[in-house]
Amino acid sequence: MKGFEVDLTRLRGGIFHFRRQKEDLRLGGIESEGDEKMDVWRLPISASLRGKLISAGYTSVTSLSSVSSANLAQDLNISNSEALNVLKVASHSGGSECLNENPSIINGAQNAWDLLHEEESLTHITTSCADLDGILGGGIHCKEVTEIGGVPGIGKTQLGIQLAVNVQIPHEFGGLGGKAIYIDTEGSFMVERALQIADACIEDMSEYNRFLRKDCQPCQMKMEPKDILEKIFYFRICSYTEQIALINYLDKFIAEHKDVKVVVVDSVTFHFRQDFEDMALRTRVLSEMALKLMKLAKKFSLAVVLLNQVTMKHAEGSFQLTLALGDSWSHSCTNRVILYWKGDERHAYIDKSPSLRSASAPYSVTTRGIRNSASSHKRIKMM
């Protein structure tokens, strides 16, 4: 594997806060065993009784629900009181679920009310452009996969680098204090540029510090550009096989680095547009990869940002610009943002989102990174 990982110094341990991780919502009860057929195994009764039940054909708890204790005693050749006891245990194991204060018919499912509060407590990753944050509902959302596409030179990579830096803004400044994974398939990540953006980000933070915390004890500005670069894990990918392998490996990697809060793939498209001949295979491989990324986003509560290229599509008698990788792929993101030129100004447009309305906003790419368009370069949105 040619891809390598830049992790220059072992990172100082940061305690990772699982924001309101609600393990307690996983209401107990029946295990997530798919097959209910043999669930008498789980009844807290003696092994010999269990054996008798199964050999008499009572393999599921439900099969015990309609049998009388006398019949059961006869079938199993046991005493009536023993049979009664078995039925009591069986009805208890089935019924306990419904007696629960908050009944859940599926293990691990969460109700919309709890999810709403969980969602409200999540911090978004700012793009450093207040207008863009505005239409995105505060920035890039964690637990979701956001696809960003646009023509070459529009600033996709710039936005990717900006997010890899901004994810590290500490909690005191309204950020996530996380780390970033940057998966580079095209070789377009420029470390000098990342340094520049990191510098500007720190400058903005200290300015914000001076401005807002004059009276309070000044918050220590310990961050240096070096620290920011150290917290970007960079993978260089040279073929689609490597890309698939890496995404399969990410689960393990992130489990070991739990404060990773953003995964940027720049671009998700490149190798899949070069080497593939069997398009049906490509669709399968891509859709599986998409589900894995979805799973990562949900499981580790992180933001996945996929940068995509554009292509021409012939539809309704005219050619229009759409994102690459085809129709099936277009379903594999939660949100989609299209970057485009409007005159000589850059704009972003929300093309797809379950919760945001479609809207567009101007932004610009400056030496300091992504910023508001035109006049308001200095403004950075922190909260």
Partner 1 sequence: MHQPWLNGMELLEDALRNKNFLTSGLEEMDMFLHGGFRVGQLTELVGPSSSGKTQVCLQVASNVARKYNGTVVYLDTGNSFSPQRIAQILGQSSDPANSQVKYQNLQNIMRNILCHSVFDIFGLFDVLHQLQFQLKLQNGKGDCHGRLLIVDSVSSLITPVLGGSGSLGRALMVAVGFLLKKLAHEHNLAVLVTNHTVAGEGGICKPALGESWKSIPHVRLLLYHERGSNICKISILKHPSMASGKAARFVMLPDSEHKGEPGMKRTV
Q: How far is the CB of 325 from partner 1 (least distance, A)?
A: 11
SS3 call for 203: helix
Q: How far is the CB of 169 from partner 1 (least distance, A)?
A: 23
CA angle 290-121-353, nearest 5°? 40
Q: How far is the CB of 194 from partner 1 (least distance, A)?
A: 28
Question: Could you say which DSSP state residue 35 is in?
Answer: -
Tokens of 381: 């949105």
Interacting residues with partner 1 (CB under 8 A): 30, 32-36, 39, 62, 65, 94-95, 97-98, 102, 104-113, 115-116, 119-120, 143-145, 280-281, 283-285, 287-288, 290-292, 294-295, 297-298, 314-315, 326-328, 330-334, 336, 351-358
Q: What are phi and psi of 233, to 5 degrees?
A: -85, 120
Q: How far is the CB of 273 from partner 1 (least distance, A)?
A: 16
What type of residue is 277?
E
Q: Which is nearer to partner 1, 122 or 238 (CB)?
A: 122
- Residue 235 β-bridge partners: 5, 183
Q: Which is nearer to partner 1, 126 or 301 (CB)?
A: 301
Closest CA to 123 of 341, 270, 311, 303: 303
Q: How far is the CB of 57 from partner 1 (least distance, A)?
A: 11
Q: Which is nearer to partner 1, 143 or 179 (CB)?
A: 143
Q: Which is nearer to partner 1, 193 or 292 (CB)?
A: 292
Contact (CB, 8 A) for 30 and 132:
no
- Residue whose structure tokens are 């993101």: 333
Q: Which is nearer to partner 1, 23 or 120 (CB)?
A: 120
SS3 call for 257: coil
Tokens of 361: 């906003």
